[in-house]
Structure 1
Amino acid sequence: MTSPAPTTARIGIIGAGPGGLTCARILQRHGIAVTVHDRDSGPDARNQGGTLDLHADDGQLALREAGLLDEFFELARAEGQEMREMDVTGAIRTHHVPDAGDLFKPEIDRGQLRTLLLESLQPGTVRWGHALARVSGPAGGRRTLHFTDGTAVEADLVIGADGAFSRVRPAVSAAVPQYTGVSFLEARFDDVANRHADLSELVGQGGAHAADGKRGLFAQRNSGDHIRVYVIQRVPVDWIASAGLSIEDTPGLRAHLSGEFAAWSPRMRQMITDNDGPYVDRPIFALPVPHTWEHDPAVTLLGDAAHVMPPLGVGVNLAMLDACELALALANSATVDEALRTYENTMLPRSADMAKMLENGAEHLLSADGPGFGGDDGRP
């Protein structure tokens, strides 16, 4: 099959997360048509999660190419770059406070970033309620996207931006994410200035982390006077069921975690006992290092679909940089095949290097010495 020109190709992006939407926005800025398919029933179908720090050397570069950097800075919280490392009593061991005017990695809520990107797209770009079941078609040839509602569409290029458990990935790779042995349990706190004043003071304007070598807590301030706390443990992936509990059993989980953190101070334990509403189970998975695939002129991956890694501050930034570079390659290449080769020749080595650096990185979140948040290079 002769590879089509990007301007005439039928391009389907799977996944309306930051990576997929960034790619779509930059493509449209260059006059290239694209459709984004997402499994959610609509943009407000579910909570988008916590806050993100977008780095000047990757995530912000992508937003500049998307023409959205000024709008991002209007929403971003520079003060969110503050980082506290504490011990199990709540005493501060190290404290990073951003300099005035420091915009290297300001914070923005995931939901705010997604809305910013969605509102920048042409009407009808995103087709909601399109959960991908599989991709069919010969390697190197035109592909068909099969959705769970029984519909199907053909595409000259399929871009998998659909996360760790990508339904596009099997079209080019047999790799599947493996459990890292570390699990997060998310707790949410609302109206913290009034209802959780002590926690608000403890966490500060950005993030706060503590660990004892076996377990840890990471608290992160969100906009709208919310805080999210992540209880970090080295446990089996089914630890909740093994304890005779369910994710809906908030009192039971509180009691269990209170026992696990019994040696921690009451001030620190409020992060696992005073939350508003249910917990969210977030076991940490990662792809093999390195993760590569044989080039296919009609299918590629970006973000977690290509290189899911431990959550150490690089995931969304790499996804948006991937998206930017892929979109620019398509805008500046004669054929889709040429564009994918250009993109993958840069993305795959970069992601392999980063994945190697962060391999087993989730373990650092359990270290009593801390993971090194707030370093000079702005990365964990």
Structure 2
Amino acid sequence: MMRIAIAGGGLGGLTLARILYRHGIDAVVYEREASRSARSQGGSLDLHPESGQRALAEAGLAGRFRSEARPEGEEHRILDPAGRTLVHHRPQPGSFSGRPEIDRSALRDLLLGSLPGGAVAWQHRLVAATPRPGGGFGLTFDGGRSADCDLLIGADGARSVVRSLLTEAGLSYVATLVELSISDADRRHPAVAELVGPGNLWCIGVNQILAAQRLGDGTIRVGISVRAADRDIDTYRSRRALLEMFDGWDPSLTALIEAGDSAPTPRRIEAMPTGTRWAHQPGITLIGDAAHLMPPVGEGANQAMLDAAELAGELAANPADPDSAIRAYEEAMFTRTHPIAEMSARVQAMMLSPTAAEDITRFFTARPPDPAPTK
């Protein structure tokens, strides 16, 4: 029996394991975290019908997704620094035909709960993968543990260890995202909660965005996006410095920063070169951010889950020749993700430009809204 190792227990890796399991194919997911509750999983995301929702249907989880998702979370407002509404998208009440929101933690729990016991090996951070003379790979994990596999799938995110076996493509620093969280907002900060509403809010200035997003438990996640080279990243750990950046903005908007429960947390947003490809190698491939890291404008998780569904489908259709399955998956994935990565790069650049308010208003007036950059 072919031994399949999936490096990374994010949404892509878990979706892949689940769909393979439905086809009677076993795989082990090696995840660096100590347990399913080891850390916060971040904000919510909207699942697109043609990608994320399609993958969940192939995973047999569409019904459970509907019970967890929040169609009202698709509501999206865009304001200017004075608090004037530029765009207000209201979804059809109760409709799942668009891109309903679901918390990342809820989606991950849904996927984890669908896997057999032992499918996820927790506290296994991959540090090296070495090709074996007879095919397959030897895996080395932090702490000295090891394993072997016949097929290695890198679902290990932005700083993928597996990627380095296939391509030397580097990452470019495209923006800085500063995150804050407001818990129990309806009770503790009702004006802020009303401002954000049930979904996503963007407040767009010159070269900077102040965004907020409501989660299913009533928490509001705030994200401040700025250009990559504007300041040293540690500057953004100061709430006072952030408020100075938004000096002159309507106080109802800067209240999003003031209401944060803890110190602001900045992180670098990086992306791979659009159009990155690699020459096919037997017994190894990549999905999700490991394959095509894009700016976080709403496509990353959706494309990772679709990668998983398409790779699982190819492997299930051709179990006797996994290399042909991988080759077919890779060619289709390269073709599909290239224009999406280009679009994501354009949207990211547009959001942090001097004319962002006009450009984004035009963009969202012409097409359905993508989610906020707090994801």
TM-score if structure 2 supplies the norm length?
Answer: 0.93
- Partner amino acid for 2:348? A
Select between 94-103 and 166-175 the one with higher mean Cα deviation. Answer: 94-103
- Partner amino acid for 2:296? P
Change in Cα spacing, 1:140 to 1:305, as seen in structure 2 (3 Å) is: farther
Q: How many residues align?
A: 364
Rounded to whole Å, the distance in 2 between the matches of 1:80 and 1:140 is 51
1:360 Cα shift?
4.3
Which residue of 2 is the match for residue 354 of structure 1?
Answer: 340
Which residue of 2 is the match for residue 280 of structure 1?
Answer: 265
Rounded to whole Å, the distance in 1 between the matches of 2:35 and 2:250 is 43
Which residue of 2 is the match for residue 328 of structure 1?
Answer: 313
1:211 Cα shift?
1.3
Whether the aligned pair in 2 keeps the contact of 1:209 and 1:216 (CA below 8 Å) is yes
Which residue of 2 is the match for residue 169 of structure 1?
Answer: 163
1:99 Cα shift?
1.4
Matches within 5 A, 1:24-39: 24-39=17-32
Whether the aligned pair in 1 keeps the contact of 2:87 and 2:364 (CA below 8 Å) is no
Which residue of 1 is the match for residue 39 of structure 2?
Answer: 46
Change in Cα spacing, 1:312 to 1:296, as seen in structure 2 (3 Å) is: same
1:326 Cα shift?
0.3
Q: Of the candidates 157, 171, 175, which is equivalent to residue 151 of structure 2?
A: 157
Rounded to whole Å, the distance in 1 between the matches of 2:345 and 2:52 is 21
Which residue of 2 is the match for residue 191 of structure 1?
Answer: 184
Structure 1: any 5+ residue segments left out of the alignment?
1-7, 248-252
Rounded to whole Å, the distance in 2 between the matches of 1:237 and 1:118 is 40
Q: Taking every aligned residue pair, what percent have the same amino acid on both sides?
A: 42
Q: Of the candidates 102, 118, 122, which is equivalent to residue 124 of structure 1?
A: 118
1:359 Cα shift?
2.1
Does 1:298 find its partner at 2:283? Answer: yes
Select between 168-177 and 99-108 the one with higher mean Cα deviation. Answer: 99-108
Rounded to whole Å, the distance in 1 between the matches of 2:263 and 2:107 is 24
1:279 Cα shift?
2.1
Rounded to whole Å, the distance in 1 between the matches of 2:306 and 2:14 is 12
Matches within 5 A, 1:238-253: 239-241=232-234, 243=235, 247=237, 253=238
Does 1:82 find its partner at 2:75? Answer: yes
Which residue of 1 is the match for residue 349 of structure 2?
Answer: 363
Whether the aligned pair in 2 keeps the contact of 1:310 and 1:360 (CA below 8 Å) is no
Structure 2: any 5+ residue segments left out of the alignment?
none
RMSD over aligned CA atoms reads 1.7
1:37-61 per-residue CA deviation (whole Å, 9 max, x = no partner) reads 0000111110000001001111000
Whether the aligned pair in 2 keeps the contact of 1:211 and 1:370 (CA below 8 Å) is no
Matches within 5 A, 1:215-230: 215-230=208-223
Secondary structure of 1:368 counterpart: helix
1:51-109 per-residue CA deviation (whole Å, 9 max, x = no partner) reads 01001111000000100000000000000010001011222121100113431210000
Secondary structure of 2:170 counterpart: coil
- Partner amino acid for 2:323? D
Which residue of 2 is the match for residue 57 of structure 1?
Answer: 50
TM-score if structure 1 supplies the norm length?
Answer: 0.92
Q: Of the candidates 139, 142, 148, which is equivalent to residue 145 of structure 1?
A: 139
